[in-house]
Amino acid sequence: MSLYDIPVETATGDTTTLGAYDDKLLLVVNVASRCGLTPQYGDLQKLQETYRDQGLQVVGFPCNQFNGQEPGSNEEIQEFCVATYGVDFPVFAKIEVNGENRHPVYDVLTETVDSQGDSGDVAWNFEKYLVAPGGQIIARVRPQESPATPEFVALVEQNLPAAA
């Protein structure tokens, strides 16, 4: 099954897929509202605004598996994202990214190796995956690397569909 065919739940409880983004450079991030890395929401939103018209689509999957740093309801998470960071990219329903209840999207994503050659469980909130149009996962970037670093921005720019 393709990453684009896996059912995902929206924050409002509807079922959809990532299929609408199969022609985009997809940036998938597990997010949390009460983490030291939460300001990355602002960096993700800036990337979305800057590169949307060139084919970037950011999507967030809230997760409460890391020290309970995403305790809110789906509605509370949405309100926080919009009010605090002006987020206009999709933030889906809360999921698990590790363990026996890992969401199938993360079953696929966690097979990807990072720059150190490591795959497996998500390390923490704000781990980032870049997925090329068509579904090939091209990068796994660990949580501590901000999406605002020149290296990360260059990685995005090099893989935009409009740049191809």
Catalytic residue positions?
A: 35
The burial of 70, by beta-carbon neighbours within 10 Å (0-12 exposed, 13-18 middle, 19 or more buried), is given as buried
* Torsion angle of the four alpha carbons 110, 69, 12, 84, in this order, in degrees rounded to the nearest 10: -110
Nearest CA among 143, 144, 140 for reference residue 155: 140
